[in-house]
Amino acid sequence: MARTKGAKNKNTAMTADERIAAVLAEIEALQAQIQEKKAELKSLKAVKAEEDQKRILNAVAASGKSAEEVIAMLGGAQ
């Protein structure tokens, strides 16, 4: 019975050096993704802070109170 050449007969195992290189490349790619996500998070936090400020200003305007009255209510913070 003749044997056929196929995937069973090929030596597809990676060497330790090849696996190390592959893992290092994967780590670098993941670190780049982390940096991108950190930048996205920073941007989103800035957007949220701006939205919060607008909400506060709208609430103050809707209350009919003066800026001094609102500051006094908040404990005198300036």
Contact 70, 60 (CB under 8 A): yes
Please, which pLDDT band fits residue 15 given cuts at 50, 70 and 90?
very high
Contact 78, 71 (CB under 8 A): yes
- Give the predicted TM-score (pTM) of the model: 0.62
∠ CA 11-26-41, nearest 5°, is 160
pLDDT score recorded for residue 53: 96
> Cα(first)–Cα(last) distance of the chain, in Å?
91
**39-77 tens-digit pLDDT:** 999 999 999 999 999 999 999 999 999 888 988 988 865
Query: How large is the average pLDDT for residues 9-38?
Result: 91
What is the average pLDDT score of the chain? 88
